[in-house]
Amino acid sequence: MRRCIQQFAFLLVFATGVPAQAADNAYSAGAVEDLKENVLKLNRDLLILEEDLLYPAQSQVAFYVSMDVGHYFQLDAVKLHIDNKLSASHLYTEHQRDALVRGGIQPLFKGNLKSGTYTVTAFFTGIGPQGREYKRAATLELEKTDEPAVIELRIADSAERQQPEFELVEWPAP
């Protein structure tokens, strides 16, 4: 892996650091472009390899935050705990809140978990109905198998209750 990175660094420096005159003398413009294209492909392959090594499919778990409408809750922060250990947290800007309300999904955490049972708790902090500070939690008992797990931290407005609802939803395996 280290050797691949060193080769990539060498090619990147070579492809971008060759003076124009030397490139004209030694290589045609097409050869330089081909070299740059090969460097980009190598970089993509290295990123994919790194992703596979860091997050093998059998232990992979990913958490995403989504928000529906947002009339009854203005999200300020999310904290994610797995078995009472803080795994991720995020403070939201106005721009990020707007993106969530428009249907965006924010990746919160990606990591590895062995097969087994885990208690996942998400703490949501923000401004609730009548402009009051609001802090709520949602919990999920996750039965992690050898398949990748994807969990959505969903914030949705309840028009009947005129309050936000918070839930953790495990997406079905593909």
- Give me the torsion for CA of 100, 104, 105, 106, rounded to 10°: -60
Q: Tally the C-alpha atoms within 13 A of residue 167's C-alpha that lie toward its C-beta.
A: 8
Domain that residue 47 falls in: 2-54
Residues 121 and 156 in one domain: yes
For residue range 9-25, what is the model confidence (pLDDT) as tens digits?
555 555 555 555 554 55
Lowest mean pLDDT among 10-19, 90-99, 147-156: 10-19
Whether residues 50 and 63 fall in one domain? no
Q: Which helix (H) or strand (E) holds 166?
A: strand 163-170
Which amino acid would we find at residue 22? A
Q: Are residues 64 and 150 in the same domain?
A: yes
Number of domains in the chain: 2
Residues 65 and 137 both lie in one domain: yes
Enter the tokens of residue 120: 């996942």
Contact between 46 and 6 (Cβ < 8 Å): no
Q: Tell whether pTM > 0.75.
A: no
Domain of 79, CATH number, reads 2.60.40
Task: Please tell me whether residues 62 and 126 are part of one structural domain.
Answer: yes
Least confident of 49-53, 78-82, 139-143: 49-53
Residues 138 and 113 in one domain: yes
